[in-house]
Structure 1
């Protein structure tokens, strides 16, 4: 067999694969520059790859397109399948792996599941899935109320969920609070009757401490009728008490503190120290160069235990 005959035979193989050679035959093991007669792409397959046991396509672009078409479901069938699962397509079908914008007949929202995920048995609509999960977790209202009454709390409004604050009246002290059912079932009770931690019904104080090394200032609350353990903890970490202001109850102290914190946040002042630098109360620390202890003292004196005004403090 002559080299000319070899070249002609090779060219015939290439043309049978849909490729037109653009240069002389280089041999079976070398790339052979050719043009695909279907899509016009310039490719360089090896003749050996077209004829061996592990035969490969001559044009990758055409091979990918053929593979995609082989995997593509018929659009009419796909639309019918989506409608059977409760979705109305809002755009043309593109393939099993592409998000498909649809109207969910269950909740009326627009969602974009893939056709493949629907075929795999997934819900396709996050909102419907959340609603079903919520319904499965929903507590029987009578049983929920019984749990609250068992903890000494009388519900004052209908039950919603275990994580939603539930307005109740304590049958021991008569005060109203809003615990969640999950907290009550974890062993909590009326915050005013608690015999540990910060007593929200007893006299309290709002304080300001400073830290010279960190260049920081902090606002906080503590009880007034007990030893000032909280401030003593701060002092052991290098903090110095700058000011304290007495208020009738712990709720009043918290209201003052939270009012000032909201106004500082609205004015653009973020948390200054980390939990490592300030293990207890780092979220109430500020840069002393921007918020001074004197300014905090003035704010506490001016702030009454009532809801905070909407505008931020102008002195910061």
Structure 2
């Protein structure tokens, strides 16, 4: 006979009582104890595991109708959960002074009546003088994520507009000829590849900011010194080289090195690693070509001490740049070595033929 067969005696799985309730493996006293442990006092009659039972919360005294299945999964009083959520929201709520400080970080003066972070509030842009309406919570979230926030549409568009001459120069540096369509870097432009002659429509930021070239001809992984030396616009971008220290899920201490471009995310990459529990060990600022070359030298130096953390997601795919702290890295020494390496690459006949970047231009 199978368990649950009406012709057999089915003892309670908790106390051994033979009088189990209908459709479950527990007796009524044990079911009452399950509800009591979850913070409820049963008032109604038990029907089955899916049916709601009238209960009273032992904490707040309010009544609800949870079912046994949900209680077994850990569900508690809904009203208490609402009260706790409201309490947490009150703690997270921005005061008017905090809202004023957050808007001041992006150059906006609070002028209107502030109610909460999710409602629109009126302010005045300190750059152009326009009256704007912004959501403080949205501005705050962007700043916490290391993103650039404007709040003023006129300043937002002007910051994303470049002179046509510079647009053509940046396209040429990425191996493309500008044809038409540029308004802001968020819109798409029409370009022609200087290698294969294919015409295509690409988002302007992919070419003008990231320096991406033709899908068919551009070599992948532009972020290495040999390819950056052929793209002077990208090579001269202000960037930084950093080292962070983390603790893995098992307590193992390891370090991570990497590079970031200030034009793309500012120093948001550093703030992201800090939110993920990392401690900044060292950081150095230089042009992109120098920090990429220094990163390549570091990669070779720490290959014997490479480390792969258990949680590969927190570093956003950069877990291959981790190592154990058995070796100390002097970033200044690597920056200097990278500079000598780049000068050697430029001075070689092969590098001088392919590169549009001279040593004087790079260090201007």
Query: Is TM more than 0.5 here?
Result: no
Task: Say which one has the larger Rg.
Answer: 1
TM value normalised by structure 1: 0.34
